[in-house]
C-alpha cells in the first residue's frame, strides 16, 4: 500500500510541475475568485504550507533546530528519487514553482485540496497569479 501511495505522490508531483498548455495566449485574469478557495502566496509560504502538509501526514521535516532535515524526511525524499530532503525542498521551491509561476513575478495562487487517502495534506492546486488556468 505504501508503494502505491509513493507512486501516486511522484505522479502527482510531476503533474503539478508540468505547465498547462491552455495557459499560452490566454488573457490575464489574476487569481480565481476568493470563494473558489484560491489565495495568492509567495515561494516561502508555498514551502511552509508544504512542510505543514508533511507534518500533518506524520512526516517530521525538521530537527529541533528548525534547519536540519530529519532522517525520516531524508528517507521519504529519497524514496521518491530526490536524493534527500534538500533535493525535495529544491524541487518544491524551484522546479515545481517554475512550472506554476509562468510570469516569474514570485507569486502564485494556491488552493488546499481535500485530504483523502489518495490526496495527502502536502498536495495543493496551483495557478499563476496572472493566468486563467489552474494546475
Q: How many CB atoms lie within 10 A of CB 64?
A: 7
* Three-class secondary structure of residue 52 per DSSP: helix
**Distance, CA of 54 to chain centre:** 11
HSE-up of 111 (CA within 13 Å, CB side)?
Answer: 19
Rounded to whole angstroms, the Cα distance separating 51 from 7 reads: 20
Taking residues 20-32, what's their average pLDDT?
52
pLDDT at position 131: 60
Domain boundaries, the chain: 2-21+30-128
* Three-class secondary structure of residue 117 per DSSP: coil
In a 10 Å sphere around its CB, with 0-12 CB exposed, 13-18 middle and 19+ buried, how is residue 46 labelled?
A: buried
Q: In terms of DSSP bridges, do strands 107-112 and 39-42 run parallel, antiparallel, or are they unpaired?
A: antiparallel
pLDDT in tens, 83-129: 999 999 999 999 999 999 999 999 999 999 999 989 999 999 999 98
Residue 59: band (very low, low, confident or very high) from pLDDT cuts 50, 70, 90: very high
pLDDT at position 132: 52
Amino acid at each position: 500500500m505504501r508503494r502505491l501511495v509513493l507512486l501516486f505522490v511522484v505522479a502527482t508531483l510531476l503533474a503539478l510541475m508540468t505547465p498547462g498548455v491552455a495557459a499560452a495566449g490566454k488573457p490575464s485574469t489574476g487569481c480565481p475568485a476568493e470563494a473558489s478557495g484560491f489565495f495568492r502566496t509567495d515561494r516561502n509560504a508555498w514551502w511552509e504550507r508544504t512542510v505543514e502538509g508533511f507534518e500533518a501526514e506524520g512526516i517530521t521535516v525538521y530537527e529541533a533546530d528548525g534547519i536540519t532535515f530529519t532522517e525520516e524526511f531524508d528517507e521519504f525524499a529519497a524514496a521518491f528519487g530526490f536524493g534527500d530532503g534538500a533535493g525535495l525542498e529544491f524541487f518544491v521551491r524551484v522546479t515545481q514553482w517554475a512550472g506554476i509561476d509562468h510570469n516569474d513575478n514570485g507569486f502564485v495562487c494556491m488552493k488546499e485540496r481535500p485530504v483523502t487517502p489518495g490526496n495527502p495534506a502536502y498536495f495543493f492546486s496551483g495557478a499563476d497569479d496572472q493566468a486563467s488556468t489552474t494546475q
